[in-house]
Amino acid sequence: MFDEEEICQMKKVLEDSDMAQKYGYGLPDGQGKQAGLVIWSHPGDDVTGIVSRSEKVVDTCQELLGGGEIYHYHAKFVRKDAYTGGSFLWHQDYGYWYKNGNLFPDLLTIFIPVDISDQTNGCLQILPGSHKCGRIDHFPVAGQNQCDLERVKQIIERHPIKHVEMDPGDALIFHSNVIHTSAPNNSPNRRWALLYSYNLRSNDPVFKHHHPNYTPLEKVPNAAIKECRNYIDFTGKDFLDPSVDKTVKADKGQ
């Protein structure tokens, strides 16, 4: 979905700016490791924001959500560094977002790796078709929320685990009720990715929370990804302070 030049543009922001140092935190996995996260509410005008506003991303996600108007619900820069990057427990995104006042699971996420993502460094694992099971009960574990594992085991019997190995430039788009996980990174290779989540305007949350309510999305041409020269000005992105996120327990010291 993205060519080498576009991925290089994204890497310039992630590698050369102070985004992670200034706004990042760790999410413990209960196994002695943690994944690094940076989360923001609004796209902004830097390269990472332009990607989320590009025609090919917005139009594809809008079509998959039925064609209704969508908005940028939030974005994540996920860092699983070599040897230290933690796991994400079995969960559905809607297991978190249901608690935010989204009455319907009319949300999705596009996962864009900027590094090779494979089984050695903790690639995504999904249960294809599991979104049809509806929202599964979730329980707090370490700093995260985890699906009822007994139910997950039963679902796996009908929807076997798929390891989603990806190259930089690939993209995976998945529904908010897809059950997924990822293992820790025990390899010498980092696993970094950008994730953009979108919600239908018609599913505007019924109360205020740490992610935004409906905000119009200003779409840009695909060419803007390569043309953008803003790698360090994050004005308007509104980075998340993990202390206001009631759905996780983060480590701001990451």
Q: Which two tokens stand for residue 31?
A: 């196994």
Q: DSSP assignment, residue 173?
A: E
* 146 CB neighbour count, 10 Å cutoff: 21
Q: What pLDDT does residue 167 have?
A: 99
Dump the DSSP string for 171-190: -EEEETT--EEE----SSS-
Q: What pLDDT does residue 250 have?
A: 78
pLDDT at 15 over 90: yes
Q: Nearest 5°: phi and psi at 109?
A: -135, 140
- Specify the fold of 4-244: Jelly Rolls (2.60.120)
Residues 6 or more apart from 126 whose CB is under 8 A from it?
Answer: 161, 162, 164, 174, 178, 179, 180
pLDDT at 17 over 90: yes
First to last CA, the chain: 31
pLDDT at 194 over 90: yes
What is the C-alpha separation between 55 and 61, in angstroms, rounded?
A: 10
Q: Tens of pLDDT along 208-251? A: 999 999 999 999 999 999 999 999 999 999 999 998 987 887 77
